[in-house]
Amino acid sequence: MNILDGKSLAKKIKHNIKEETKHLDRKPKLVVVLVGDDPASLVYVKNKVQACADVGFSSQLDMFEKDVEEDVLLNHIKRLNEQEDVDGILVQLPLPPHISMHRVIDAIDPSKDVDGFHPNNMGKLFSGDLEKAFIPCTPLGIKLLLDEYNIDVKGKNVCIVGAGFIVGKPLSMLMLSQDATVSICHKYTKDILEYTKTADILISATGVPFLIKDYMVKEGAVVIDVGISKVNGKIVGDVDFESVSQKASFITPVPGGVGPMTVATLLLNTLKAYKQRI
């Protein structure tokens, strides 16, 4: 069993970005928009702002009350679209129920959509135009982690457990673009075991603690754990690490696996947005 060390790779990526940023005419700028006071979301956005500072980017955190009207938020995004010094715009998800996630994402200028969720960027990902697309951060982070350890997905059976908008769906397209054979499982899948047991690469992104047990995993599989939950005050993933690590050839830890890569790829996307706009 080998550890897929996302923490170390993210550190290397951030170092390279920091060195490149020193030679730019101005600092790339990311604006993070947070609606409400959800504690987890607040931690995430503060981590993103800190990551910007770590590599020499400029950042701005715009906070709104949870009962803000949708039009107010949309108008704010429109103003950010028009600001020349803003390279990336990220609206922290989830949003309160009265605000349409799709309308908010659609309002972001695709050239500043560093989360990669705008239909223009999703369409480029779907069509395989990866050079111009902003690829959603977690899927991109997983790809780079696999690349770092020379794990080729071409011709491999890739099973993704979790069909969400943020990870599962875009990740399936990204894996397909690299010629993997992709299966996606979700809460209506009748027999998840049928898919996980034959997976060369098993990726779980459900947020259900210890969902993936050793009997569900093929001997020698690569296992990537995207989930993050708190159990008895401890951060855990979707995968029962202790047992599954005995069967996996490679496995990501939680924390220290996919999480740091998600932040690092946000910085990569922000730098990419800056370069495309100069």
Q: Are strands 234-236 and 229-231 parallel, antiparallel or unpaired?
A: antiparallel
From the list 87, 115, 200, 238, the catalytic residue is 115
Q: Taking a C-beta distance cutoff of 8 angstroms, is the pair 153, 180 a contact?
A: yes
Residue 127: how many other CB atoms lie within 10 Å: 12
Verify whether residue 92 is a known catalytic residue. yes
Residue 65: how many other CB atoms lie within 10 Å: 11
Verify whether residue 169 is a known catalytic residue. no
Give the contacts of 19 (CB within 8 A, at least 6 positions apart): none
Q: What is the C-alpha to C-alpha distance for residues 267 and 270, in angstroms, rounded to an integer? A: 5
From the list 14, 29, 87, 92, the catalytic residue is 92
Verify whether residue 214 is a known catalytic residue. no
Within the chain, how many helices (H) and strands (E) appear? 10, 11
The residue to which tokens 């309308």 are assigned: 103
Catalytic residue annotation: 48, 92, 115
